[in-house]
Chains A and B, each alone.
Chain A
Amino acid sequence: MPEVPSDLINSVAIALMMLLLALTLLYTVTMYMSSRKQMQQPKPKLLTRIECENGDYDEVRDYIDGDYVGKVVGNCPKCSSPLTITAIYKEIPKTPQQLKT
């Protein structure tokens, strides 16, 4: 059997170690980036939806403390029937990445 040059074995051993080191580094960086990505969630906005009971008018405004669904908040500007809160929900603004897709 032909003898394998010792320099070649030496180089292969060092290359293997370097590869392992590079993979570990890459894994750590990837994990760090993904955890940072998870932390950067936009703050949701609380909204209140108000509708006229006859369906003539509706509006969405920011939530005010004391709002609840079924609360009468005034009269319809078009037909004067009661304006009631029909929903309160949170809207999460889309991130620039989500907007691109």
Chain B
Amino acid sequence: MNGGGSDWASILLVVIILTSFLLNFTDLPQKMQLWRWASFIKKRLYILERLELESKERVAKYLGSKFRIENPKKVIEDFMNNYFLIRPVDIEPTDIIKRLKHLLRVRDKAVKLYVDSILKDVDESLKRNAEVVLEVVSAISQVNKIIKHYFQLGLKFSNWVLVMQLALEMPLILRMVQAYHESLEAFTKGLPIGDGAGALVARAFIKSNVKPEVIAEDTELYRVEYNDRKLFIIKARGPGATVGWPGDAVEKVVEMLGGRVSRIITVDAALKLESESTGEVAYGVGAAIGDPGPEKIAIERVATKYSIPLEAVVIKMSEAEAINAMTKDVYEGVRKAIDIVRKIIEEKVGIGENVIIVGIGNTVGIR
């Protein structure tokens, strides 16, 4: 070898061979990947922690200032660690819907009792808002716990595949938690949310002088005349944050009318695909309702029993838009959906016939 250039070339060659050996015959690449993904997750975990803390502080401030609760942090903690729901046995599917419905009702009552015990002499709609606010904080905390569990498990056993999977999911999880965190604004102020699009469509057919009848728990029925057709409009009782029990309500109204119903029209918010735009409206056949099962099956069963056609109208939006204050794009979708429902009534429901319109979704901010 002669000259400095050759020395450089020799060093480069040794480095390449050494690096190649380390990368091919040791666990170093996996360790490096694990370290990289772990640091990626840690950064996002800090954000999750911050969101959880901010949510708790915001809710504590809301409960303290709005309802004058002395120890709001304890109220939040007591709610967060309790009120879980164990899903019914599904390897024996007989009467699973009945059992699930029963469990959902029992949990709902338990949560209501808890909120009632804390918020005495408070308007029902504010109680429903407080209930959802507590559910949101609980959900954020639960997601945070699960993420930490898998992260620590992955690090404990140097399971780089688990850590990598978690890291790849983190942006989506973070987006969801961020959306939940932002949704607190809507629930504390009582603003309509994207999920309330169905309820808003139903509301558009109701004039201010029409008095509601309670048809099921937290669910109301409005009887309205429209172009010589009899509309039976069902929606959750607003303006508190509740979804009501629309399945029960539809069942009762159809039975009350002896099955003489020309059509059942369900209107709901639907999750859009990434390629779709917010506020797009689509219609089809079936019950447009995204519950765990009991409400949807109740509508399907009663419609099948009396051979009533089921019309579904959906307004598309993202998950974040569904749980946050309604955007203008979603509202424009609502206006399109109202026109579609009107068209269905005018074209498919005969003069003098009965039609049931069900506005599905959380009715916060919508009476």
Contact = CB atoms under 8 A, between A and B. Distances in A.
Q: Judge: A and B partners, yes or no.
A: yes
Interface of A: 5-10, 13, 44, 46-47, 49, 53, 63, 65, 67-72, 82, 84, 86-92
B365 A68 contact: yes
B3 A6 contact: yes
A68 B5 contact: no
Nearest to B325: A90
Contacts of A72: 208
A72 B334 CA distance: 20
Nearest to A45: B328
19 contacts: A6-B2, A6-B9, A7-B3, A9-B5, A9-B6, A13-B8, A13-B9, A44-B327, A67-B365, A68-B238, A69-B203, A70-B203, A70-B206, A70-B367, A87-B192, A88-B191, A88-B325, A89-B327, A89-B331
Interface in B199-230: 200, 203-204, 206-209
B326 interface: yes
Which 9 pairs, one residue from A and one from B, show the smallest C-beta to C-beta distance?
Answer: A6-B5, A70-B367, A10-B5, A68-B239, A69-B366, A89-B331, A9-B9, A6-B6, A89-B326
Contact of A89 (B5, B12, B204, B330): B330
A69 B239 contact: yes
B328 A68 contact: no
Contacts of A70: 203, 206, 208, 238-239, 366-367
A44 B192 CA distance: 15
Contacts of B9: 6, 9-10, 13
B8 A53 contact: no
A88 B190 CA distance: 10
> Chain B, interface size: which category?
20 to 34
Task: Output the residue of B191, B204, B330 with the most chain A CB within 10 A.
Answer: B191
B50 interface: no
Given A6-B3, A10-B5, A87-B192, A71 B367 contact: yes
B102 interface: no
A7 B5 CA distance: 5
A79 to B, nearest CB: 14
B348 interface: no
A7 B6 CA distance: 8
A93 to B, nearest CB: 11
B258 interface: no
A82 B208 CA distance: 8
Nearest to A86: B204
Contact of A10 (B8, B204, B325, B331): B8
A88 to B, nearest CB: 5
B189 interface: yes
Given A70-B367, A84-B208, A86-B203, 18 more contacts: A6-B2, A6-B3, A7-B5, A8-B5, A9-B6, A10-B4, A10-B8, A10-B9, A13-B9, A44-B325, A49-B331, A53-B208, A68-B239, A68-B367, A70-B206, A70-B366, A88-B191, A88-B325
B144 to A, nearest CB: 22
Contacts of B190: 68
B127 to A, nearest CB: 15
A4 B308 CA distance: 87
Nearest to B364: A68
B81 to A, nearest CB: 33
A90 B5 contact: no
B345 to A, nearest CB: 18
Contacts of A53: 207-208
A65 B330 CA distance: 21
A2 to B, nearest CB: 15
Nearest to A17: B12
A82 B206 CA distance: 13
A44 B331 CA distance: 15
Given A68-B367, A92-B327, A87 B200 contact: yes
B85 to A, nearest CB: 30
A6 B2 CA distance: 8
Nearest to B4: A10
